[in-house]
Amino acid sequence: MLSALFRIKVCAAFLMAFALSAVAQDFPTKPIKILVGYATGGPTDVITRILAQEMSVTLGQSVPVENRTGASGNIATEAVAKATPDGYTLVASTLAHNINPLLLPNTTKYDPIREFAPVSLAVVLPQLVVVSYDSPFNSLTDIIKQAKTSPGSVTYGSAGVTGSSHLASAFLAYQGGVQLTPVPFRGNAPALTEVMAGRVSFMFYPMIGVNGFVQDKRLRVLAVTTTKRNPDFPNVATTAEQGFTGFDEYVGGVGLLATAGTPVAVVQKLSAAARAALKKSTVRDQLGGMGAIIVGSTPEEFTLWMKADADRWAQLIKIANIKGE
């Protein structure tokens, strides 16, 4: 009896493996959709569209990008957590993927690790501190001095409480011993528009797509969060040079996630397509020219990075006493 049962189980496992292999071999047979939880034109959107265009060439199917904004990226992320695990619906992940459960546990309805299949970490994004061209601020010290003189008068833009700008600004407020007032938007792009207009004092903005605004004299850069000065902004001091340390450790990663349970072979195929896209000189020139640091990890590498990233942000949230909504 046991022997017969064992043979049945082995046969079933073989048939399942054969079926999954066949699915992966045929994949994809229709368009692959990537959801972005932030506004069109923002850093995550721009990176995802560049990546999707090149992935479509490798995969032989269109890879449309759909913006589902709101709830600090939760809307798009939760949609993928609940999607059919077949590799046809992905989400562009940002640091909010790990931070939403930490800061918004009552409204976040997904587990950042268990409910997703990491595909590839595409890039990491250091940040710039930017102000309008006519801003009276010329350094981070100026921001802190104003905040001390008039508590609550200095505002900063962000893509919500779990966005990179909010967290970095809260870290700056903690180090400066001041109160800074957050002004949340549905993405970094609309927040940056308000900073350029002078209606918001400053923001930490991912180092991508800012050069044009600087050259057009709509923005000025006060600091970079990298360990060394950035060659695109050689005259701009780092945060550490201005007396504010630790910012280089907190970079935002943009990657691709599938739904947990997606066949491993399908995930590997998607990852290979993403990594192939990131190796193309045109893509590297586009993303590198915007300030992004290209990674292109395997699913296994991305999984390890995600776990370490969650620990890193949890520590910062505790140190700076950052609160959710």
Predicted pLDDT of residue 266: 98
What confidence tens digit (pLDDT) does each residue in 143-193 have? 999 999 999 999 999 988 878 889 999 999 999 999 999 999 888 889 999
For residues 87 and 27, is the Cβ–Cβ distance under 8 A?
yes
Buried b (16+ CB within 10 A) or exposed e, 126-141: bbbbbbbeebebebbe
Predicted pLDDT of residue 303: 97
Q: State the DSSP string of 110-160.
A: S-TTTTEEEEEEEEEE-EEEEEETT-S--SHHHHHHHHHHSTT--EEEESS
Predicted pLDDT of residue 314: 92
Please give the Cα distance from 248 to 228 (Å, whole number).
Answer: 9
Which structural domains are found in the chain, ordered by start?
Answer: 30-125+251-319 (3.40.190.150), 127-249 (3.40.190.10)
What confidence tens digit (pLDDT) does each residue in 114-147 have? 999 999 999 998 899 999 999 999 999 999 999 9
Please give the Cα distance from 88 to 31 (Å, whole number).
Answer: 7
Of all helices (H) and strands (E), which one includes residue 24?
Answer: helix 2-26
Identity of the amino acid at 138: N
Predicted pLDDT of residue 43: 86
What confidence tens digit (pLDDT) does each residue in 52-89 have? 999 999 999 999 999 999 888 999 999 999 999 999 99
Predicted pLDDT of residue 249: 83
